Chains A and B, each alone.
Chain A
Amino acid sequence: MRFFLTCLAADLRASLTEPGDILAQLGFFIMITALFVLAAGPESDRLALIGLAGLWMAALASMVPAFERLYEAEARSGWLDQLLVSPQPVWVFVLAKAAGYYISHAVPLLLASPLMMIWLTLPLALLPVVLASLGLGLAGLILLGALGAALTLGARRGAILAAILVLPLSVPLLIFGVLAGQAALSQAPVAPHLQLLAAAVLFLLVLMPLATGFALRTAAENG
Chain B
Amino acid sequence: MDTYAQKQLHWQGLSLRRGGRLLFDRLDGQLAAGEMVHLTGPNGAGKTSFLRIVAGLAVADAGQVRLDDQRWPDRETGVPLCWLGHATGLLPTLSGRQNLQLAARITALQNRAAPDWPTQKDDLFAITSFIDQPVRQLSQGQLRRLALSRLLLSEPRAIWLLDEPDTALDAASRTALDQLLTRHCARGGRLIITRHAPPADFAPNRVLTLRGAG
Chain B binds chain A: yes
Known contacts A10-B94, A82-B103, A86-B106; decide if A77 and B88 are in contact (CB<8 Å). Answer: yes
CA distance A73 to B134 in the complex (A): 14
The reply on A78 being an interface residue by CB < 8 A is yes
Per-residue B-contact encoding for A155-169, CB less than 8 Å = 1, 0 else: 000000000000000
State the B residues within 8 Å of A (CB): 52, 55-59, 73, 75-76, 78, 81, 83, 85-94, 98, 102-103, 105-108, 110, 134
User: Interface residue count for A (Cβ, 8 Å)?
Assistant: 26
Chain B residues within 8 Å of A10, by CB? 91, 94, 98, 102
Pairwise interchain contact A14-B83, C-beta atoms closer than 8 A? no
Pairwise interchain contact B91-A79, C-beta atoms closer than 8 A? yes
Pairwise interchain contact B57-A77, C-beta atoms closer than 8 A? no
CA distance A142 to B88 in the complex (A): 28
Per-residue B-contact encoding for A86-123, CB less than 8 Å = 1, 0 else: 11100000000000000000000000000000000000
State the A residues within 8 Å of B (CB): 2-3, 6, 10, 13-14, 17-18, 73-74, 76-79, 81-88, 220-223
CA distance A2 to B104 in the complex (A): 13
When C-beta atoms are compared, the residue in chain B nearest to A2 turns out to be: B105
CA distance A3 to B106 in the complex (A): 7
Pairwise interchain contact A81-B87, C-beta atoms closer than 8 A? yes
Chain A residues within 8 Å of B88, by CB? 77-78
4 further A-B contacts with Cβ under 8 Å, apart from A10-B94, A77-B90, A78-B88, are A17-B93, A81-B57, A87-B78, A221-B58
CA distance A160 to B139 in the complex (A): 34
